Amino acid sequence: MRVLGVDPGLTRCGVGVVEGVAGRPLAMLGVGVVRTPADAEAGQRLVAIEQGIEAWLDEHRPELVAVERVFAQHNVRTVMGTAQASAIAMLCAARRGIPVALHTPSEVKAAITGSGRADKAQVGAMVTRLLRLDAPPKPADAADALALAICHIWRAPALHRLQRAREAARPSRIPTTASVRKVTR
């Protein structure tokens, strides 16, 4: 499975591509940051993020895009920028028919380090170790994007089993004779 991880941000949007399957060594195919100038208008910044993500999608052809789920913070301005960048990543993937998975920061940290409260340095160190890199990707947004991709690859089999179980547990949508009578009366 090839996954593009996106750590959304309006100034720095981390992107990283990881390939592999759960239980086997993973390979980093690319990592970077889509940057926008802080003094540019919001619309221009969003266009720049879209162009950057589209370029990554063109180059790496991921099967899935894993995006950090936006969570509430005290700084509304930061949340808005993060949400906007997140929406751009989801839009780019959806436009191409690529599935999108959202993971919370604590889910990613727990998957990568074993603790949902790990700090950026711990996440960077584990990403370095898991992908057999010489040094942690810089800036931290890039390492976070790789962590998102790794998290999804590791969690995908369990998430898929849960989805199948939910679908199997749903009642059939074929109308029964009793429900047809109620509708026609």
Out of 41, 54, 141, 144, pick the active-site residue.
141
The gap between the terminal CA atoms of the chain, to the nearest Å, is: 52
Any residues with CB less than 8 A from the CB of 5 and at least 6 apart, and which?
A: 14, 15, 16, 17, 18, 65, 66, 67, 144, 145, 146, 147, 148, 149, 150, 151, 152
Residue pointed to by tokens 């789920």: 69
Coil, helix or strand at residue 98 = coil
Out of 7, 59, 63, 119, pick the active-site residue.
7
The reply to whether 68 belongs to the active site is: yes
The reply to whether 119 belongs to the active site is: no
Out of 41, 68, 134, 144, pick the active-site residue.
68
The reply to whether 144 belongs to the active site is: no
Helices 105-113 and 120-130: crossing angle in degrees, nearest 10, is: 50
Q: Which amino acid is present at 124? A: G
d(CA 39, CA 114): 38
Catalytic sites, residue numbers: 7, 68, 141
